[in-house]
Each structure stands twice: as C-alpha cells, then as structure tokens.
Amino acid sequence: MGKLTDKVALVTGGSRGIGRAIALAYAREGARVFVSARREADLEQAVGEIRAAGGEASWIAADISKTREVKRLLREVRCLYGTVHILVNNASILGPRETIIRYPLSDWERVMRVNLTAMFGVTKEALRMMIPQKEGSIINLSSGVGRVGKARWGAYAVSKFGVEGFTQLLAKEMKEHNIRVNAVNPGGTRTDMRAEAYPQEDPLTLPAPDEITKVFVYLASPESEGVTGKSFDARDWLKKSN
Ligand SMILES: NC(=O)c1ccc[n+]([C@@H]2O[C@H](COP(=O)([O-])OP(=O)(O)OC[C@H]3O[C@@H](n4cnc5c(N)ncnc54)[C@H](OP(=O)(O)O)[C@@H]3O)[C@@H](O)[C@H]2O)c1
C-alpha cells in the first residue's frame, strides 16, 4: 500500500518541471493522477513515464487561463475518476523580469490570469467535488519572491503573494469541510522556468525536481492530518526529513 492509494490527484502544469515530478511521486505512492498543461507532446511523455513505472495516469490539454477550459478540465476529471482528493495548483508563468514602471499591462494581466485567477477557478471547481466528500488537500505552489518583495519580479511576485493570501483564507473557510490548504515554495529548482529567470546560472548547481517532492507527498497524505493554512519550504523540509 502506498501513502496515496485510492486517492485521485490533479496536478496542473504536470507535464514538465516540478509538476511532472510531483505527478510521478504521487503515482509511485498509489494515487491515480491526472495531469494538465497546454502542450500535448509533453503531457503524453509525462503520462507515458508514469505508466511505464506501473502508475495510473491520464492527461488533458487545457489552457487554464481560459475559464471554459478550466471547467472542461474538471469535468474530465469527474468523468474519468468520479472525484478529486488532491489538487496541486502548480502551473505558472514567469512573465517579464522588469520594473513596475516599465511593466506592460498586457503581461501583467496574462501572468495574473494564469498564476492567480486560474488557480481560483481550478480550486473552485475542485471544491465542488471535495466539499460533499468532506475530504481534500490543496497544495499551492508559491515562491520566495511571494514572501519578501524583490525588485524586477513584477506580476510573478505579486501573484505569488496572492497565492500565499489565498492559501491562508481558503484554509480557514475550508476547515469545517475537512479540506486542507497549504502553500509550498519549492526553492530554486532545475526547470525551464528557472533557466528563463536565471539564464547565466549553471542548472547543475540546483536540485532536480524529483529531489524536492517529499513535502508534496507529505501534504497530500494522511501524515499531515490537521496541517492547514501553512507555508512550507521544500528544501527546509528535505533537510529536516533526511
Ligand atoms: N523552478 C523554480 O526554481 C521555482 C522556484 C519557485 C517557485 N516555482 C514555482 O513552481 C511551479 C512549477 O514551476 P516550474 O519551474 O516547474 O515551471 P515550468 O518548468 O515552466 O513548468 C510550468 C508548467 O505549467 C504549465 N503551464 C504554463 N502555463 C499554462 C497554462 N496557461 N495552462 C495550463 N498549463 C500551463 C506548463 O505547460 P505548458 O507550457 O505546456 O502549458 C508546464 O507544465 C510554478 O508555480 C513556479 O512558480 C518554481
């Protein structure tokens, strides 16, 4: 028996990077995993990898910046698996690394739509399944720049401050329904987004996504019963648990 046997998990942005590593880790623990992103080829590859390792997974291509696609995504999850117990709001975009005075409004709106509004929409649809079953764990991907203001991180940073706030208030609202909501800052991790943010950096100096998944398994599993409204750092967690 894995730690997540009989659970259904939805990981947005589960086709690459950190989301893909979380999806793999959940499947290894026995969860049925549903991954979504925009690019089909990456999704097929991620799901293929999970299945090759003996896990159960499905994918759907959806652009979560569009309300219609969010609804379609959650409808698909319901049709295939009947419900969802674990939601990882992982999909995000970086946007320009620019000062506020030079930051284009169109980029601001695009980043906020993917990183914050889409998270609200996906969560709301997932709650429709979680509330009646009185069970759920929602894990929102945050960032160090969403906790302390840092110049030239623009809408990305502000969206992550929003993720932290959303996590805290939703945790309070959902306590009576036995639905837990927590945020995780993965820390610098070897992914496409990190390479885009720090093009000069040697990626090999960073942990790979599959090295930081422990805290995500902990928060999804009954091991973290009663833990809600908290902000975690994946790397600190790793140090503590080793
Ligand atoms: N890597 C780091 O060092 C780091 C540090 C702090 C926080 N984080 C956070 O960790 C999370 C994962 O980051 P990552 O580095 O793994 O990012 P990544 O490698 O850029 O992957 C992002 C994922 O999100 C999907 N995505 C982007 N826009 C989407 C949209 N409109 N609709 C649906 N899916 C969309 C991408 O697939 P498609 O492009 O195919 O849609 C991809 O699967 C993010 O929330 C990020 O902010 C990362």
Over residues 24-79, the pLDDT tens digits come to 999 999 999 999 999 999 999 999 999 999 999 999 999 999 999 999 999 999 99
- Asked if 116 and 62 count as a contact pair (C-beta separation under 8 A), the reply is no
User: What phi, psi does 25 have (nearest 5°)?
Assistant: -65, -40
Q: Residue 242's pLDDT band (boundaries 50, 70, 90)?
A: confident
| Residues labelled catalytic | 156
Alpha carbon of 208 to ligand 1 centroid (Å): 14
Can you say how many angstroms the Cα of residue 140 is from the centroid of all Cα atoms in its chain?
5
pLDDT at 112: 98
Residue 78 CB partners (closer than 8 Å, separation 6+): 84, 129
172: left (phi over 0), alpha (psi -120 to 50) or beta: alpha
Mutational pocket test of ligand 1: of 11, 12, 15, 18, the residue with most ligand atoms within 8 Å of the beta carbon: 18
Residue 54 within any structural domain of the chain: yes
Q: Are 229 and 168 in contact (CB under 8 A)?
A: yes
Strand ranges inside the chain, DSSP E: 8-12, 32-37, 56-61, 86-89, 136-141, 179-185, 231-233
Residue with CA at minimum distance from ligand 1 atom 18:
193
What span, in angstroms and rounded, lies between the C-alpha atoms of 175 and 13?
27
| pLDDT tens track for 219-239 | 999 999 999 999 999 999 989
Helix %, strand %, coil % for the chain, to 5? 55, 15, 30
Asked whether residue 79 is domain-assigned, the answer is yes
According to the model, what pLDDT value does residue 77 have?
Answer: 97
The overall average pLDDT reported for the chain is: 97
User: Which domain, by its residues, includes 99?
Assistant: 8-241
Rounded Cα–Cα distance for residues 22 and 4 (Å): 12
Best substitution site from 191, 194, 236 to test ligand 1's pocket, by max atoms within 8 Å of Cβ? 191
CATH number at residue 69: 3.40.50.720
CB 233 within 8 A of CB 185: yes
pTM of the model: 0.99
Expressed in angstroms, the distance from the first to the final Cα of the chain is 22
**Residue at 3 is within a domain:** no
Taking the C-alpha atoms of residue 19 and residue 24, their distance in angstroms, rounded to an integer, is: 9
What 8-state DSSP symbol labels residue 212? S
State in Å: Cα 18 to ligand 1 middle: 7
Q: Is residue 1 part of a domain?
A: no
Interior angle at CA 125, CA 122 and CA 131, nearest 5: 125
Residue 155 resides in a domain = yes
How many domains are there within the chain? 1
Distance CA 97, CA 152 (A): 5
Does a structural domain hold residue 149? yes
Task: Identify the band that residue 240 occupies on the pLDDT scale cut at 50, 70 and 90.
Answer: confident
In a domain, 27, yes or no: yes
Mean pLDDT of the 149-167 span: 98
19 C-alpha to ligand 1 centroid (Å): 7
Evaluate whether residue 18 is within a structural domain.
yes
Q: What CA–CA distance (Å, rounded) separates 189 from 89?
A: 17
Determine the Cα–Cα distance for residues 160 and 93; give it in Å rounded to an integer. Answer: 11
Pocket flag, ligand 1, residue 73 (CB < 6 Å): no
